[in-house]
Structure 1
Amino acid sequence: MFGANFELNDLRQTRFFQDVFEEGKKQGKQEAFEEAKQKAKQEAKLEVIPHLLAFGFSIEQIAQALGLDEQVVRQAAQPKS
């Protein structure tokens, strides 16, 4: 169909390849953005844990309120050395 001399460089020149490549870049950027956003949310939750403990909330209450595993809350509650 394409002949023996159709090479990768020729494929890269096709409109289909360029469209798929651009869509992949957009999707990759969106996924990276979503991942960064989730990481920032997680970090914010971890930063508030010592403050909630200071107000007298229990590990269980904090875990439930923040939607975190109790073990994660316990780790975040430990003093940093």
Structure 2
Amino acid sequence: MLDCQDTQSFDVVVVDKPVISFIDDDFTICEGETFTITTGVATVQNSDNYVWSAPAGYGSFDSPTSLTPIFTQVKLLKMLEWLH
């Protein structure tokens, strides 16, 4: 059995999961089109850092760590299917 004499304390901070909300999450972006995510379209709570991503082959974001990136569509994608 160990005979420990020292103790140490520390705080644990639990961070809530980010909440991402879209004003209208049931819309379609046609192949080859772009869509700008603006602060009026998407809001994020409980987070200061963002990384947007899309399923492989569907498209890309010009600045994935920005709250308001531009998404360029490669395949036809219904946003409701992608977000859920």
Q: What TM-score does the superposition give when structure 2 sets the normalisation length?
A: 0.33
Higher helix share: 1
Larger RCO (CA within 8 A; separation ≥ 6): 2
Choose 1 or 2 for highest CA Rg. Answer: 1
Q: What TM-score does the superposition give when structure 1 sets the normalisation length?
A: 0.33
Higher strand share: 2
